Structure 1
Amino acid sequence: MTTETDATAAASGAKATERFHANKKFAGDTSQERVNRLASRLVKAINDTVLEEKVTYDEYNAFKAWLIKVGEDGEWPLFLDVWVEHSVEEVANENREGSKGTIEGPYYVPDAPKLESPATLPMRDDEPGTPLLWEGRITNVAGEPLPGGIVEIWHADDRGFYSQYAPGLPEWNLRGTVVADADGYFQINTMQPAPYQIPTDGACGQLIAAAGWHAWRPAHIHVKVHAAGHQEITAQLYFVGDEHLSDDIASAVKPELVLDPKDKADGTGREVIYNFVLDPVK
């Protein structure tokens, strides 16, 4: 019987690639001039690096072999989401007045079970970790509540694994689509996740080892928050005191997204309040 600890980079990468093709839409009408500008700058940056750093044929061939392995392992979603997406997100959300966003990452799955607030995420009877109650409110930039706002939430378990990306986990473990009440309030009961390393047994792990980097991400909760007539925001919520807040391998931490949970008075876990402010659709 396979369990979550039997997860491999190749299997996770293949699932992430499959999800990308199924769920993501991308513009097919980008002008030739724009493609020329972006592609030319990218190619120039690579060639400038080769010339400035005096790259050898051995290094070039190692790089080529590594690129091929990234594709064979299906790790392009992981590579791009870890090392590039944070810059794309910064551009996409630079003019927002409301809540800060950050990267989505490769492990989002749409259509998680719909749950009315107060909600408890699907989890195993013996789900490891510390219970966490998250309460919040969804408003517009004027501070007015957004009735029926939606919080899509997903996160790794206490061992750093995501349902549908590691074997042995229930399909919707720690995933849900929570509907706020008429005043925009919501309550979500879950388990506080732990820090984890991104997969290191594939091409991305080879790069990390060769460069002497670490593979750690701070503990985080993923969300997509949206309401009718307002811009969706994608974010990750982190935790005060996590040792990797300052050196997240994905460069995705923002101080506005760091939670500071407190112990509940009855000793049954931790609780925190965090609200979201949504910008209007332009």
Structure 2
Amino acid sequence: MSETATAAASGASATERFHADKSPFEAVKDTPPERVDALARAVLDSVYATIREQRVTYDEYNALKAWLINVGQDGEWPLFLDVWVEHVVEEVATDHREGSKGTIEGPYYVPGAPERGAKASVPMRENEAGTPLHWTGTITSTDGTPLEGASVELWHADSDGFYSQFAPGLPEWNLRGTFTVGADGVFEIETVQPAPYQIPTDGSCGKLIAAAGWHAWRPAHLHVKVSAPGHEQLTAQLYFPGDEHNDDDIASAVKPELVLDPQKQADGSATVDYGFVLDPVTSAKD
């Protein structure tokens, strides 16, 4: 690529995309003051307890202030929240489900990926790097009924860990596609196996990682959103066995149920069979 991907550029893109695609305040505009009060007080009480328990100094407090300001200036709030907070929100939001397990969306989802039909390749460059992956699966409801018209939105990083529309030099919809199934609920997708990658470390999130002595690695994964009329949307990431960061993913997003079982083929490619079970909307808790 002629330009170099940076945390600041990636963060700015994620922030811009979040504002363009979501209306977060509209969804909670009718939240009663009592709920806002309870949430705000609970968060602040946790902060107070940490300060007292850890005997936070003024130097540490001022360093925190400076860091929080820098996170905003770098445009890294979507990255920070999606990496370190979202997995618990997802856990609470989906704990009633009987169907397939999900996990975090992450900061690099883009709606409107090209429709490819039920059996097709994800858009990719000629000679896209990575092990070719032939993925088959069926989308059903919790009673086993195939869900005609259900769709799988797939997106993932390339072999360098970069996502299209968030890094320079990549085709707009590279490794992003939507696959809509017929009456049998079956899809077949041709893509490539992505590589593990580090989240951007040249910005404020990277400073936290370095200061805390953490690593910045995410295991290789495929992102999906699976939808069907009358059913709850499933957001998930699918992982590959043997990845050294499956057990210490910086985003804490790996679940055993989301680890694939790819089978190597004689030509060097891999095949995998993995489908999805969606919960009817009526099964959701109030």
TM-score normalised to the size of structure 2? Answer: 0.96
Counterpart Cα distance in 2 of 1:25 and 1:135: 34
Counterpart Cα distance in 1 of 2:230 and 2:56: 51
In structure 2, the residue matched to 1:152 is 153
Counterpart Cα distance in 2 of 1:231 and 1:43: 33
- State which of 8, 11, 20 in structure 2 corresponds to 1:10: 8
In structure 2, the residue matched to 1:138 is 139
Q: Secondary structure at the match of 2:231?
A: coil
1:33-52 alignment, distance < 5 Å: 33-52=34-53
In structure 1, the residue matched to 2:216 is 215
In structure 2, the residue matched to 1:274 is 274
Q: Secondary structure at the match of 1:66?
A: helix
1:263 Cα deviation after fit:
1.2
* Runs ≥4 residues deviating over 4 A: none
Q: Secondary structure at the match of 1:20?
A: helix
1:22 Cα deviation after fit:
1.4
Ranges in structure 1 where 5+ consecutive residues have no aligned partner: none
Q: Secondary structure at the match of 1:58?
A: helix
Across the two proteins, how many residue pairs are aligned to each other? 279
Deviation track 1:28-78 (CA, whole Å, cap 9, x = no partner) reads 121111111110111111111111111111111111000000000000000
Q: Which deviates more from structure 2 when the two are superposed, residues 15-24 or residues 195-204?
A: 15-24
In structure 2, the residue matched to 1:259 is 260
Q: Secondary structure at the match of 2:188?
A: strand
**Which amino acid in structure 1 is aligned with residue 165 of structure 2?**
Q
Percent identity, aligned pairs only, is: 68
1:115 Cα deviation after fit:
0.5
In structure 1, the residue matched to 2:177 is 176
TM-score normalised to the size of structure 1? Answer: 0.97
1:198-213 alignment, distance < 5 Å: 198-213=199-214
In structure 2, the residue matched to 1:20 is 18
1:268 Cα deviation after fit:
4.7
**Which amino acid in structure 1 is aligned with residue 143 of structure 2?**
A
Ranges in structure 2 where 5+ consecutive residues have no aligned partner: none
Counterpart Cα distance in 2 of 1:255 and 1:88: 19
Q: Secondary structure at the match of 1:36?
A: helix
Counterpart Cα distance in 2 of 1:263 and 1:239: 12
**Which amino acid in structure 2 is aligned with residue 277 of structure 1?**
V
1:182 Cα deviation after fit:
1.9
Counterpart Cα distance in 2 of 1:23 and 1:220: 23
Q: Secondary structure at the match of 1:114?
A: coil
Counterpart Cα distance in 2 of 1:216 and 1:38: 31
